[in-house]
Amino acid sequence: MKAKHIPFTLALILAVFPAACRNPVVNINTPQVAENQSRIYSLFVNARLNENNMIEGTTKAFVVIEGETYPMTLAAYGDEIYQYDYHMPVDHMQAKYYFVIKYDEKFGLLVKHREWKSDQTYTLNIVNHYVQQMEVTRGLVGSVVPIVGRGFMPEDYIVIGGIAAPTRVPSAIGMTFQVPPLAPGDYPVEWHSGSEVIQVGAFHVDISNFKVAPDSLEVASTNSTTLTISMDQLAPDGGLPVSVMTNVPASVIMDKVVIPAGQNSVNVKITGGQPGAGNLLINTPGFNPVTVSIKVDDAPPPPVIPVTTTPVVVPPVDTSTPILAPVAPVTPPSTPAEPAQVIRGS
């Protein structure tokens, strides 16, 4: 039979076993297999028989699973590979197995039956928690990374580089995580499901850049100005803390800076403290640092408030001819009457 194309994974397993190995019965199965709805799982064996006296067409392969023997058939990958499709019982999640290869040899007129067995017993484990692939393997801080697999639970989460990443589990077959603030480099990705930790793969964090406007600041003491910090991607859940350091701490008054979750910029209020000049260093893991110069001037003098007085209103002088009022005649005082004379009697 003409050999057909062998899948890469199977070819890799075959390559590690030289043809001259002592036991020609080679197990080419992985110890863990993802659970499927039909619960049928294929087992393969490579029978590398190099017997000079072997009678062609007499080779038979068998797999013994949990004590039961099942005949195998030639697979489509070549003359030396045999296959058996095992139907796993519903209440089982693993099965123990080994292989037996039988063939005939001819020595002159004498035919002998030969048999090879696996040098150990193997275990087939069915797993319902597994990862098929991480859709991207590199990106920026804040990037959303999808993972395809099976058995995801709402409470599951991803850990990358030892840091728990914001994780969302929309279904049992898919989840996403956002890359937390990490310095550029390669980090292991782990899926945490209860007490179980499953290795997902490796993720490379690339360097990002902040955009800062304006690139220099000047403000008077006690006055305020605004600095805008932005980036190309959206901030992860919980927001992205931004470190702002200065070499003139007495001159700069400001709150902690966080780009809110789901946004890509923040406006920072900066109030001038003591007069001075220096720099602001803006930095966060995963981003190139940015330097902004700042100068704080003396406080402006207080504004002069003009003093206003209320003028005294003097009524105007009337220079017109006065109106003369008639003068009432003065009645002279009356003269008292002389007393009547008293007539005396004689």
Query: Of 76, 81, 49, 78, which is closest to residue 63 (Cα–Cα)?
Result: 81
List, for residues 275-299, the tens digit of each pLDDT value: 999 999 999 999 999 999 999 999 8
The reply to whether 53 falls in a domain is yes
Half-sphere exposure of 2 (CA within 13 A, CB side): 2
For residue 55, give its domain range: 8-127
Shared-domain flag, residues 14 and 112: yes
CA 192/CA 295 separation, integer angstroms: 49
Domain stops at, among 160, 178, 205: 205
| Reduced DSSP (H G I as helix, E B as strand, rest coil) percent helix, strand, coil of the chain, to 5 | 5, 50, 50
pLDDT of residue 3: 43
49-69 pLDDT, tens digit each:
877 788 888 999 999 999 999
Are residues 87 and 26 part of one domain? yes
pLDDT at 332: 55
Residues 138 and 28 grouped into a single domain: no
Indicate if 23 and 118 belong to the same structural domain: yes
215 shares its domain with 281: yes
DSSP 237-290: TT-EEEEEEES-GGGEE---EEEPTT-SEEEEEEEE-SSEEEEEEEE-TTEE-E
Pick from 205, 236, 267: which residue ends a domain?
A: 205
Strands 68-71 and 60-65: antiparallel
Query: How many independent structural domains does the chain possess?
Result: 3
Single out the residue of 165, 169, 172, 306 nearest to residue 238, CA to CA.
165
274 domain-assigned? yes
Same domain, 123 and 22: yes
pLDDT at 128: 84
Report the pLDDT value the prediction gives residue 271, as an integer from 0 to 100. Answer: 95
Cα distances (Å, whole numbers) of residue 175 to 129, 141, 160: 13, 18, 14
Distance, CA of 279 to CA of 110 (rounded, Å) = 96
Whether residue 64 lies inside any domain: the answer is: yes
Q: Is the Cβ–Cβ distance between 202 and 230 less than 8 Å?
A: no
Dihedral, 54, 60, 64, 67 alpha carbons, nearest 10: -90
| 100 and 59, same domain (yes or no) | yes
- Residue 275 and residue 216 share a domain: yes
Query: Which of 126, 125, 262, 129 is closest to 190 using CA atoms?
Result: 129
In a domain, 16, yes or no: yes
Q: Are residues 219 and 249 both part of a single domain?
A: yes
Query: Can you give the pLDDT at residue 333?
Result: 56
Q: Is residue 23 part of a domain?
A: yes
CATH number, domain containing residue 91 = 2.60.40.10
Q: Are residues 92 and 117 in the same domain?
A: yes
What CATH number is attached to the domain comprising 277?
Answer: 2.60.40.3450
Contact by Cβ (8 Å): 133, 150: no
Q: Are residues 102 and 172 in the same domain?
A: no
CB atoms near residue 272 (< 10 Å): 24
C-alpha 143/C-alpha 147 separation (Å) is 13
- Alpha carbons 108 and 106: distance in angstroms, whole number: 6
CA–CA separation, 98 and 24 (whole Å): 13
- pLDDT for the residue numbered 23: 85
108 and 139: one domain? no
pTM here?
Answer: 0.58
User: What tokens appear for 58 in the block?
Assistant: 């007499």
> In the chain, how long is the greatest CA-to-CA distance?
225
> Which of 205, 232, 262 delimits the end of a domain?
205
Ranges of the chain with pLDDT below 70: 1-21, 308-346
